[in-house]
Amino acid sequence: MKKRENWTSNVGFILAAAGSAIGLGNIWRFPYVTGTNGGAAFLLIFLAAIIFIGFPVIVAEISLGRNTAKNPVGAFKKIAPDTPWWVVGGLGVFTGFLILSYYSVVAGWSMSYIFKAINGFTPGTDFATLFGSHISGFGVPLFWHAAFMLITVLVIRAGVVGGIQKVAKTLMPVLFLILITLVIRAVTLPGAGEGLSFYLKPDFSKISIQTFTDAIAQAFFTLSLGMGAMITYGSYLSKDDNISDNAVYIIGFDTLIAVLAGLAIFPAVFALGFSPSAGPGLVFITLPGVLAEMPLGSFFGFLFFLLLSISALTSAISLLEVVVSYVVDEKGWERKKAAQIIGFIIFIVGIPPILGYSSLSGFSFLGMDVLDTYDWFANNIFLPLGGLLTSIFAAYVWKAKNMMKEANSAPGKITLGKGYEFLLKYIAPAGILIIMAFNIWTTFVG
């Protein structure tokens, strides 16, 4: 059998994992969730969610992967053979499959907006109508969805070091530079201050139970937790690297980029006299309007949608890798063939979300279109469920002390102790359970 690939350096792992974490969740979702949920007040709750739930779960996932050197299904099987726990890994593989199918559709919108920006956004255009007619087309969104999946497949085909690590090492610095450029441009616009205060001014009156559940859901999605991505990436990590230190870097970069994304968007939105909207409308409708009015808007628009597309690519890579590593390890498929076949199936599963804006527009699940329905199940059910079961597994089946031994095996700045054990055994599972119950309750009952 071929030897399992390892990242060639610790930095390679951190960039790949940060690449997975940093995605549409940071650049498109985080800013508007923060802006509409009480600004800095939300940020504080989000940071608490990251520290008390995100950190224990990400460390547990990476440790599970590194200890077993296996895909999510294989990892659970190796630690608890002859038990049904492998189903948790299976759920992760399924979730990766599901998320990628619609993630790629949105990434495709972003790619096509790169070209719309290059051609220039004309002032006075009704950008809501433009966006509506873009997504309700068939051929164009399908083409970009296919293009995005193709690029993702090509990276995964090239392997862990030659594909994933190489792309992360090249693109993550580019992503950072673009974002910094955009932030500098935005905050130096005359009138930027109002946007800054909208984004960050703490407004505690906006805090409700919903804010906490939003913060925890955002923490899972943005850190790529609960579906085995960090198990898979951890499985390629060398025994010499310290897991907790790495987790802190990943979380730190992810949070930094999310906060910066808001700094690139809101000051510009307010400076040019627009009002912020929520959801996809913020980047695909409001922002083009802003760019149309801004000097060099075409250039900055090009940079912004390039940034969004790059962030989506490094996340999509991790989603596909979860599924590919599973069929490679467990079913003995060859990597290239696996990447192609699975990439193609995911492409097909992504067609209904596209059609949800045209021929399937009659579809509605609790008032949501197809894409939002896929997203709802992933975010509200599968990711938290995966995270819950993974933390229970690590704490009680594998046992916290064994898991911590793996995490502490290489020397680093952080050594996990009693405090961590408490988070993993009680706080994380209880916190996740509460938000899941609340989400299901508010959706179906109250």
26 vs 211 by CB, closer to ligand PHE = 26
User: In whole angstroms, what is the distance from residue 62 CA to residue 317 CA?
Assistant: 17
CA 351 to chain centre: 21
Minimum distance between the CB of residue 61 and ligand PHE, rounded to whole angstroms? 11
SS3 236: coil
Q: Which residue type does 139 have?
A: G
Q: Does 72 bind ligand PHE (CB under 6 A)?
A: no
Q: Which is nearer to ligand PHE, 250 or 392 (CB)?
A: 250
Considering the complex, state which of residue 233 and residue 398 has its C-beta at the smaller distance from ligand PHE: 233
Q: Compute the distance between CA of residue 382 and CA of residue 229 in angstroms, rounded to an integer.
A: 13
In the complex with ligand PHE, the residue whose CB is nearer, 43 or 400, is 43
Piece in contact with ligand PHE (CB under 6 A), picked from 16-24, 43-51, 84-92, 237-245: 16-24
Min dist. Cβ of residue 100 to ligand PHE (A) = 8
* Selected range binding ligand PHE among 140-148, 223-231, 296-304, 333-341, rule: CB under 6 A: 223-231
Asked whether the beta carbons of 233 and 17 are under 8 A apart, the reply is: yes
Smaller CB separation from ligand PHE, 99 or 355 = 99
Instruction: Supply the minimum distance, in Å, between the C-beta of residue 317 and ligand PHE.
Output: 9
Find the angle CA(99)-CA(438)-CA(217) to the nearest 5 degrees. 35
3 vs 270: CA distance, rounded Å = 54
Q: Is 380 in the site for ligand PHE (CB under 6 A)?
A: no
Q: Is 25 in the site for ligand PHE (CB under 6 A)?
A: yes
Owner of token pair 């809501």: 128
Residues 6+ apart with CB under 8 A from 421: 395, 400, 401, 404
Which residues from 310-349 bind ligand PHE, rule CB under 6 A?
Answer: 315, 318-319
Instruction: Report the distance separating Cα 216 and Cα 434, nearest Å.
Output: 10
Residues of this chain, 84-103, that bind ligand PHE according to CB under 6 A: 99
Q: Which is nearer to ligand PHE, 14 or 416 (CB)?
A: 14
Shortest distance (Å) from residue 247 CB to ligand PHE? 14
Of positions 16, 18, 24, 394, contacts ligand PHE by CB under 6 A? 24
Residue 75's nearest CA partner among 244, 229, 248, 246 is 229
- Distance, CA of 372 to CA of 363 (rounded, Å): 11
Residues contributing to the site for ligand PHE (CB under 6 A): 20-21, 23-26, 99, 221-222, 224, 227, 229, 315, 318-319
